A and B are shown apart, each in its own frame.
Chain A
Amino acid sequence: MTMTGAQVLVKALEDHGVTTIFGYPGAANAPIYDVLAGSKIRHILTRHEQGAAHAASGYARATGEVGVCMATSGPGATNLITGIATAYMDSIPIIAITGQVSTEVIGRDVFQEVDITGATAPFCKHNYLVKNSKDLSRIIHEAFHIASTGRPGPVLIDMPIDIQLGEAEYDEHKEPDIRGYKPTYKGHALQLKRIAEAIAQSSRPVICAGGGVISSAASDELLELVEKVGIPVTSTLMGIGSIPGDHPLFLGMLGSHGVSTANQAVNKADLLIIMGARAADRATGNTDKFAKQAKIIHIDIDPAEIGKNLGTHIPIVGDIKIVLQQLKKYLVSDYKKEWVDTVTEWKNKQLLKNADSINADDGAYVNPKYVLSVLSDLTKGDAILTTEVGQNQIWAANHYRTIYPGSFITSGGLGTMGYGLPAAIGAKIGRPDKTVIVVSGDGSFQMSMQELATIKQWNVDIKIILFNNERLGMVRELQKIKYKGKYFAVTLEGSPDFIKLAAAYGLPGEKVTKNSEVRNALSRALQNKGTYIVEFTVDPEESTL
Chain B
Amino acid sequence: MPKHTLSVLVENHAGVLSRVAGLFSRRGFNIDSLAVGVTEDPNVSRMTIIVDGDDYTVEQVTKQLNKLIDVIKIRRLNPEESVQRELALIKVNATSATRSEIIQIVDIFRANIVDVSKNTLTIEMTGSEDKIAAFEEMLKQFGIKEMVRTGMIAIERGNKIIKAEASGDNGSVNGTVDE
B176 is an interface residue with CB less than 8 A from chain A: yes
Question: Would you give the shortest CB distance from A165 to chain B, in whole angstroms?
Answer: 22
Could you give, for residues 98-132 of chain B, a 1 whenever the CB lies within 8 Å of some chain A CB and a 0 otherwise?
00000000000000000000000000000000000
* In the complex with contacts A121-B18, A180-B11, A308-B60, A303-B69 CB distance below 8 A: no
Interface-located stretch among A52-60, A185-193, A450-458: A185-193
The main secondary structure of chain B at its interface with chain A is mixed
User: How many Å lie between the Cα of A181 and that of B169 in the bound state?
Assistant: 9
Q: In the complex, which range does the number of interface residues on chain A fall in?
A: 20 to 34
A188 touches B179 (CB 8 A): yes
Question: Would you give the shortest CB distance from A306 to chain B, in whole angstroms?
Answer: 6
* In the complex with contacts A117-B15, A304-B66, A184-B171 CB distance below 8 A: yes
* In the complex with contacts A179-B164, A184-B178, A186-B179, A129-B63 CB distance below 8 A: no
B60 to A, closest residue via Cβ: A308
A307 is an interface residue with CB less than 8 A from chain B: yes
Could you give, for residues 10-46 of chain B, a 1 whenever the CB lies within 8 Å of some chain A CB and a 0 otherwise?
1100110011001000100000000000000000000
B174 touches A184 (CB 8 A): no
B68 touches A303 (CB 8 A): no
B70 is an interface residue with CB less than 8 A from chain A: yes
A182 touches B22 (CB 8 A): no
A304 touches B60 (CB 8 A): yes
A128 to B, closest residue via Cβ: B15
A306 touches B178 (CB 8 A): no
Interface centre among B63, B67, B71, B168 (most CB of A within 10 A): B67
B164 to A, closest residue via Cβ: A179
A118 touches B18 (CB 8 A): yes
| B60 contact set on A, CB distance < 8 A | 304, 308
B150 is an interface residue with CB less than 8 A from chain A: no
A304 touches B63 (CB 8 A): yes
B84 is an interface residue with CB less than 8 A from chain A: no
| A308 contact set on B, CB distance < 8 A | 60, 63
**Which positions 169-227 of chain A face chain B at CB distance < 8 Å?**
178-184, 186-189, 191
A181 to B, closest residue via Cβ: B69
Interface centre among A121, A180, A183, A184 (most CB of B within 10 A): A180
| B50 contact set on A, CB distance < 8 A | none
Question: Would you give the shortest CB distance from B153 to chain A, in whole angstroms?
Answer: 21
B72 touches A179 (CB 8 A): yes
**Which positions 282-306 of chain A face chain B at CB distance < 8 Å?**
302-304, 306
* In the complex with contacts A126-B69, A317-B176, A182-B170 CB distance below 8 A: yes
B26 touches A303 (CB 8 A): no
* In the complex with contacts A122-B22, A303-B63, A317-B171, A180-B69 CB distance below 8 A: yes
A316 is an interface residue with CB less than 8 A from chain B: yes
Question: Would you give the shortest CB distance from B23 to chain A, in whole angstroms?
Answer: 8
User: How many Å lie between the Cα of A308 and that of B171 in the bound state?
Assistant: 15
Could you give, for residues 59-83 of chain B, a 1 whenever the CB lies within 8 Å of some chain A CB and a 0 otherwise?
1100110111111110000000000
Q: Which of B18, B67, B72 contacts A302 (CB 8 A)?
A: B67
Question: Would you give the shortest CB distance from B26 to chain A, in whole angstroms?
Answer: 5
User: How many Å lie between the Cα of A538 and that of B135 in the bound state?
Assistant: 74
A315 is an interface residue with CB less than 8 A from chain B: yes
Question: Would you give the shortest CB distance from A206 to chain B, in whole angstroms?
Answer: 22
User: How many Å lie between the Cα of A183 and that of B14 in the bound state?
Assistant: 24
A146 is an interface residue with CB less than 8 A from chain B: yes
User: How many Å lie between the Cα of A302 and that of B176 in the bound state?
Assistant: 11
B96 is an interface residue with CB less than 8 A from chain A: no
Q: Residues on B close to A: CB < 8 A?
A: 10-11, 14-15, 18-19, 22, 26, 56, 59-60, 63-64, 66-73, 164-165, 167-171, 173-179
Q: A180-B167, A317-B171 are in contact. List 4 more A-B contacts (CB 8 A).
A: A131-B14, A180-B71, A188-B177, A317-B174
Q: Residues on A close to B: CB < 8 A?
A: 117-118, 121-122, 125-126, 129, 131, 146, 178-184, 186-189, 191, 302-304, 306-308, 315-318
Closest 9 CB pairs of A and B: A184-B171, A304-B63, A317-B176, A182-B168, A180-B72, A126-B69, A317-B171, A315-B174, A303-B173
Q: Can you spell out 27 A-B residue pairs with CB atoms less than 8 angstroms apart?
A: A121-B18, A180-B68, A180-B69, A180-B70, A180-B71, A180-B72, A180-B167, A182-B167, A184-B170, A184-B171, A184-B178, A188-B176, A189-B179, A191-B176, A302-B67, A303-B63, A303-B66, A303-B171, A303-B173, A303-B174, A304-B60, A306-B176, A315-B175, A315-B176, A317-B171, A317-B173, A317-B174
